[in-house]
Amino acid sequence: MKVMGLTGGIATGKSTVSQLLIDRGYEVIDADAVVHELQAAGSPILAKIAAEFGDSVLLGCGSLDRRALGQIIFNDTGARHKLEALMHPAVRAEFERRIDQSTSDVLFLDVPLLFEAGFDVLTTVNLVISASQENQLQRLMERDGMTESQAQARIRSQMPMSEKVARGDVVIENDGDLDELEENVEQFLRGI
């Protein structure tokens, strides 16, 4: 089995590429979906998050208030590192479990923090989706309704794009339109 890492900066088009892979029949394990499952209301991880950050990160129904938690961690590096220390071991264990259970010849791990979290040790090839910072800012502000300063804080909270690109085995630039991105993905897939 080939385990392929799929990563990129925020708003570079990684999720679009992930969907293109799924549409072509590839198995994709989405880190964000795994995190949401692990942080479900009543879960041990959510209890640890509430103990660390306070009940202000919980909604009245007992589920995680992602916006409130985001306000904390994207404005405080120490808080972000505390959250990562809580989440990364559980996410890695779940990845390993799902990789072991997979029967696919090629499996993609869609992980925004692939390199930052050290999850690239689970992969054989790493695909990085890249975009200019200008495009990232524009997409974040349009997609998530963020101000420019909020979008910049999100981008700054991640590994610099240049470092991700340097660590990737394959890089797909996504500063064009969807057709161009789709053709670049097809070209990558022909080579695996």
- pLDDT of residue 95 exceeding 90: yes
pLDDT attached to residue 125: 96
- pLDDT tens digit sequence for 141-150: 999 999 999 8
User: Please, how many CA atoms are within 13 Å of residue 7, restricted to the half-sphere of its CB?
Assistant: 28
**Residue range 73-97: mean pLDDT, rounded:** 94
pLDDT attached to residue 154: 87
pLDDT attached to residue 153: 87
**Residue range 39-61: mean pLDDT, rounded:** 96
H or E stretch covering 3: strand 2-8
Q: Domains of the chain, with CATH numbers?
A: 2-190 (3.40.50.300)
- pLDDT tens digit sequence for 134-191: 999 999 999 999 999 989 988 988 899 999 999 999 999 999 999 999 999 999 999 9
- pLDDT of residue 74 exceeding 90: no
